[in-house]
Copies of this chain bind each other. A is one copy, B any other.
Amino acid sequence: MKIDKQQISDLNKSVETKHLIQLDFIANQLQHKGIDGQHIIKKLKDFQVAIPSWALGAGGTRFGRFSFGGEPSTLEQKLDDIGILHTLTNAAGAVSLHIPWDIPQNYQAIKDKAAQHNIVFDAVNSNTFQDQSNAKESYKFGSLCNSNKAVREQAIQHNIDVINIGEKLGSKSLTVWLADGSSFPGQLNFQETLKNTQDSLKTVYKSLPKDWKLFIEYKPYEPNFYSTVIQDWGTSYMLANECGERAYTLVDLGHHLPNTNIEQIVATLLYKGKLGGFHFNDSKYGDDDLTVGSIKPYALFLIFNELVYGIENNPKNPDLAWMIDASHNIKDPLEDLIQSLEAIMIAYAQALLVDQKQLKEAQEAQDIVACQEILQEAYRTDVRPLVRESRVQMNAAIDPLAIYRSLEIRKTLIKERGKNSTASGL
């Protein structure tokens, strides 16, 4: 299934007048503050977030999974789903593949399909946290960190295979997330485990094409419940430095201990030119993988405030790889992603409204009350008309969720793919 741009234009009509009144109001308000609304809108139009191929199906917990009808069961269908998202939102112009779940049968066909949808191939993801049925070695006790050399070699080779697949599709980066760790004190020797991981990552890094980047993810716990080899940004940063210039830390919002100040980590990595990628989601307890902005939208804004500042002021840091990494346990995945994209755009727009000059002055004057006012002035502004306009200008939907529903897309997908289709993966 594919949505027609004309359909969207037609459906936009019914809310166009309302939209223009709201846009006019905010544009005037911003003008009074000396802010050019079109400039913000331009930035919003350019912002693209990758959708991981595994996010199109229903997620689950260890207590089970409630399946969802019409899930994409092939890579082609996954690309179609992202195509729908991108047509509606103009914000999902990239896909992030997970290997071995998404190994293309026919590379040219896949590339054509993606091109049709205006989708590019962002970072490829390796998987060494599960055993494949044909695998010789098991990752039960770790992969790149494993004390058993044969396991490490298998995991290294897998990463090299993933790079090769990515190269054929046009990806330029590899994301490594390791579940490696331990569930019991004493289970592994921390120092040797770290050394093994370091050596393995260096070997993978050496296999990278010259124009590729390596993203090293960190996470404090789960699926291991005592220790994780790359437990925090400090470990990831240290390993990235060991690997070399094109190795970077990747921040996933849900991968932190309770109460962590994530925006400070983001700022530190940008300062050091070592922030490579960013995974969006939201959470209340742990790595809950909820819809972006559904729990802590102000924290998301504060993080975007650092990202906007860093993009402006840290030329050494590369362009970031943005991705949504959420688990759609009880919502229609496409609706969940539409809500996530909206929350990202809103936070980004709010951050773009922060008066950096005024903020710097207030910081230098150590006028804390004013600093807070400046941030909250931006955050409390209703920027949704700007976000909507950024879509209108690209022929996307003023209200993507409403159009998704009025077009009965899920119903069509179920008709096409069946009630019990299952996304490849977990």
Choice from B63, B272, B360 contacting A426 with Cβ under 8 Å: B63
Find out whether the CB atom of A185 lies under 8 angstroms from the CB atom of B363: no
Binds B, one of A166-174, A206-214, A293-301: A293-301
Q: A261 within 8 Å of B by Cβ?
A: yes
Find out whether the CB atom of A294 lies under 8 angstroms from the CB atom of B62: no
Find out whether the CB atom of B187 lies under 8 angstroms from the CB atom of A371: yes
Q: How far is the CB of A284 from chain B (nearest CB, A)?
A: 6
A381-B382 Cα distance, complex, nearest whole Å = 6
* Interface residue total, chain A, C-beta cutoff 8 A: 110
With a cutoff of 8 Å between Cβ atoms, the chain B residues found around residue A327 in the complex are: 62
Copies assembled = 4
Interface residues of A (CB under 8 A from B): 18, 22, 25, 29, 32, 59-64, 66, 129-131, 138, 140-141, 147-148, 179, 182-191, 194-195, 220-223, 225-227, 231-235, 237-238, 257-261, 263-264, 267-268, 270-272, 283-286, 288, 290-291, 293-299, 302, 305-306, 309-310, 313-314, 327, 329-332, 335-336, 339, 346, 359-360, 362-364, 366, 368-369, 371-376, 379-382, 384, 401, 426
With a cutoff of 8 Å between Cβ atoms, the chain B residues found around residue A382 in the complex are: 380-382
Find out whether the CB atom of B61 lies under 8 angstroms from the CB atom of A363: no
Choice from B186, B231, B268, B372 contacting A184 with Cβ under 8 Å: B372
With a cutoff of 8 Å between Cβ atoms, the chain B residues found around residue A129 in the complex are: 63-64
User: What residue in chain B is nearest A229 (Cβ atoms)?
Assistant: B264
Choice from B32, B226, B297 contacting A284 with Cβ under 8 Å: B226
Q: How far is the CB of A150 from chain B (nearest CB, A)?
A: 12
Find out whether the CB atom of A360 lies under 8 angstroms from the CB atom of B189: yes
**CB contact under 8 A between A372 and B258, given known A140-B66, A285-B220, A285-B222:** no
